[in-house]
Structure 1
Amino acid sequence: MHKNRRKFLKNLSVGVVGSLAFSNQGWTQSYERLKVVIDDLKLNEANSSEAYWEKVSSQFRFAEGLHYFNNGSLGACPTPIREATTTFRNTLDDFPSKYMWGGWDTQKEETRKKVAQLFKVSQEEIALIHNTTEGMNLIAQSMNLDSGDEIIISDHDHSSAVAPWTVWQEQKGVKLVRSTLPILPKNIEEVVAVYKNVITPKTKVISICHIVNTNGMMLPVKEITQMAHENGILVAVDGAQGAGMVLTDLRDMDCDFYTVSAHKWLFAPKGIGIFYAKESSQHHLRPLIVARGYKDSSIRRLENYNTRNLPELLGLGAAMDYRNAIGGQKIHERTYELKRYFRERVKDNEKLRLKTPEDDRLSAGIQVVEILGKEVSDVKNQLFENFGIDSRPMTKFGLNAVRLSFAIFITKKEIDRLVDVLNSIAES
């Protein structure tokens, strides 16, 4: 009996060691595959041909027959990042206590550093959280405001960016001032004036979107921030639709807080987000969750969840490697190339009306278009049911338009097909 027990334990120990060896091998294989993709992209970094972008597109896998123009709602994750994240998850489950409690500390900090480099800020100004909504809650619940103080928001802010201010501040008597943004502003100054005109001595915070999710209008964060700071006002930015789509130099923008869902335009796994707090503004912040280690004075106190989604966090690091292999400037330029290509293709059809500002300072990779005489819900359904095109219908503010996202996996061939379909629906 004892002999059999010893044999059982010996076999069990061999199985454990074998599984650990397998997980390490899986980790290596995953990064080898990712490295092959990255090396190939870097080898062609000077290449901006359509063939290059078709190669990038091939690294994103979608359901058969699906043409995905809805990245503004939920981003796609390229295949090598999916594989890397799956390997991280398997590695964690092969030895949970090791990797959850310190085994990946170095890799976590490497990810933080990569994110900080993306935004051109210090890694001591970056917290790795869950999503934009958490970041907006973190800001809103932290502010030590009094009844009668004012926060400026806009009518185009996402509901998840407004709700935190409503719950944490408005319910204690702080006033939410809702400014009205123009749908098609003529210039930056017109947008800045919207916020400037509602500032009072009671204004403490301006909360804005980098790019609004309604019609893809991009707000001049730097100019609004400069105006706000001249009046002693903090600026919080919902960056869900900005970071990754366009170059985002937070040091230059100078906003106090900026929060991102990394699954959108950074193509990271779902459930991981980024929170930036300028060093001089961090004293305003209190963590949403407290646990052991709550006395940590660094920005890491804002992400102290105990157990957390580490595979997705490291997946963000892998996504940053992937992005860097292409190049942030190159992605930025491609975004605008696709925007201009689409606008040029639809401009001569009198039945198609663009409802996104044309100025490159006021829009980028999200464009909305109305088919005159058609209900947008019907257009959305026709696009998907008849042609497999996924888009987002926008009904607020009289838009009656489909929102189209031009991420880096969208090719000009895809845009040609999209425009042909829009033209056919307009004529039907």
Structure 2
Amino acid sequence: MMERRQFIGSLAGLLSPELLPALEAIAANPGAELPAIKAVTRLGTGRPEDEKFWSRVRDLFYVPRDVIYLNNGSLGLSHRVVVEAMYRHLLESESVRTTKYGDYPWWGYGPALEIRKKVSAFIGADPEEIALTRNATEGMNTVAAGLDLNPGDEVLMSDQEHPGGRSAWYQRAKRYGIAVKEFALPNPPRTPGEILNRLEASITPRTRVISVSHITTVTGGMLPVKDIAALARSKNIISLVDGAHAIGQLPLDMHDIGCDYYAASPHKWLYAPKGTGVLYCRKGMAEKLWCHTAGGTWDRPELGCERLTNIGTSNYSILVGMAAAVEFQEKLGKELIAGRERYLNHYLRKMLSDWEGVWFINGPPPELSTAMVKAALPLKKLGDFPIRMWEKHRIWLVTADGDEKLPASIRFSLPIYISTRDLDRTLEILKEELSKRKHQET
């Protein structure tokens, strides 16, 4: 059991006096700039390859130095800016420090315009085009359950959609008789055009909706969603994009992409609090949806996305955290962040390309991937390999066993604070572990 002195010592390592003064002190100064935001400003200008700069960025996260976390694709780890903002708002609201009557610490009732304005500016949309959700799955379900479709109408999607993006359509098919059709993504794709051609070849006269990922959870590969949206529009087909992995990983401009709907999970690459989500509805498209959760404004389509946001009492503090995550990215620089992720992607690919029997299931940056690398291995089964990597080496990876189509694989998700030294260490240990596993298979 950890002794009290050891416990306090471990906290001292996390709560750096310079970056994170006592949270109670932060909460006592509601009008002051957050200490962690000041620390971001002091970082100055960085470059994608500047390891010293990104080491200082890592100081803004709580991740211990001996941990190599390569799973942003499932869950991002929030930084100090987010935690400080949430904690301050939580103490402010729960102590009823507001001077405005009816200013409750919740969302789910009313417009929540302050948050929607910040998010919309960040992703190139208008505030009235933004609905607040709890994740991309909820956003995808809002559209899938809300559109008027008839039996026999087709929904076209790729064969690499996340269950949160595909299941709502399959449930609707089972209940109401629509048809769901999948097209196969190439592994790996050579060009964005190859993906677009496969999708277009799968469209039929019955296709009413195209529902695809911007970046797939299976491989981390990117789809040409702007071209897909333009193709859909030319054929009078509704376009829905599952952007769970894209927000925070890529600079986004909804108006430039041109899709009808776009669902996002900021808790991954934006490092926002878990339980935050965004649904973009192109102007005039929110009115076409029935509410999947009917609140008091369900029958007021003139409210647009506000009507879809009114889902009942929810935690406003996490929305404050999401707004802080947006501020962090804007101060650090969206293009710089994407550049860092591409740099790490290229670095990892270069190191792995020399390994016998290893190849890449997704394509390279910048058009076919950004911060995720899916590496196929010369093995069929990995067994307890990912458990050993974490419990023995403190390296968190996501793996998949092979099947009749593909060998076993590893999905590397590369957060900005990971260093090239971390990747070198990971590959050194990985090579040893895979050698052991290969001997076991033979």
TM-score over 0.5 (shorter chain) = yes
Which residue among 323, 331, 347 is the counterpart of 2:353? 347
C-alpha separation in 1, matches of 2:45 and 2:170: 49
2:35 matches 1:33: yes
Quote the residue 2:329 is aligned against: 323
Pair 1:98–1:159, CA change in 2 (3 A): farther
Mapped contact 1:157–1:212 kept (Cα < 8 A)? yes
Report the Cα offset of residue 164 of structure 1: 0.9
Quote the residue 1:298 is aligned against: 304
C-alpha separation in 1, matches of 2:348 and 2:47: 24
C-alpha separation in 2, matches of 1:140 and 1:312: 26
For each residue in 1:90-122, what CA deviation from the matched residue of structure 2 results, as whole angstroms up to 9, or x when unmatched? 222212998894357999433222211221111
Match of 2:137, as an amino acid? T
SS at match of 1:246: coil
Quote the residue 2:85 is aligned against: 84
Quote the residue 1:228 is aligned against: 232
Q: Describe how 1:10-409 pairs up with structure 2 within 5 A.
A: 25-28=28-31, 31-41=33-43, 43-44=44-45, 49-62=50-63, 65-95=66-96, 101-102=102-103, 108-294=112-298, 295=300, 297-358=303-364, 360-373=366-379, 375-395=381-401, 398-409=406-417
C-alpha separation in 1, matches of 2:296 and 2:103: 14
Mapped contact 1:210–1:218 kept (Cα < 8 A)? yes
C-alpha separation in 2, matches of 1:144 and 1:28: 46
Quote the residue 1:8 is aligned against: none
Mapped contact 1:60–1:79 kept (Cα < 8 A)? yes
Count of paired positions:
406
What is the TM-score normalised by the length of structure 1?
Answer: 0.88
Pair 1:207–1:413, CA change in 2 (3 A): same
Mapped contact 2:221–2:362 kept (Cα < 8 A)? yes
Match of 1:282, as an amino acid? A
Quote the residue 1:426 is aligned against: 434
Residue identity (%): 28
Match of 1:324, as an amino acid? E
Structure with greater helix share of residues? 1
Report the Cα offset of residue 218 of structure 1: 0.7
Pair 1:241–1:23, CA change in 2 (3 A): closer
Runs of 4 or more consecutive aligned structure 1 residues displaced over 4 Å after TM superposition = 21-24, 45-48, 96-101, 103-108
Pair 1:45–1:347, CA change in 2 (3 A): closer
C-alpha separation in 1, matches of 2:427 and 2:26: 47
C-alpha separation in 2, matches of 1:264 and 1:99: 34
Report the Cα offset of residue 370 of structure 1: 3.2
Q: Give the structure with higher Rg (CA).
A: 1
Pair 1:94–1:403, CA change in 2 (3 A): same
C-alpha separation in 2, matches of 1:130 and 1:97: 25
C-alpha separation in 2, matches of 1:276 and 1:154: 21
Structure 2 stretches of 5 or more lacking a match? 1-23, 437-442
Quote the residue 1:17 is aligned against: none
Report the Cα offset of residue 237 of structure 1: 0.6
Pair 1:319–1:359, CA change in 2 (3 A): closer
Report the Cα offset of residue 34 of structure 1: 3.1
Structure 1 stretches of 5 or more lacking a match? 1-20
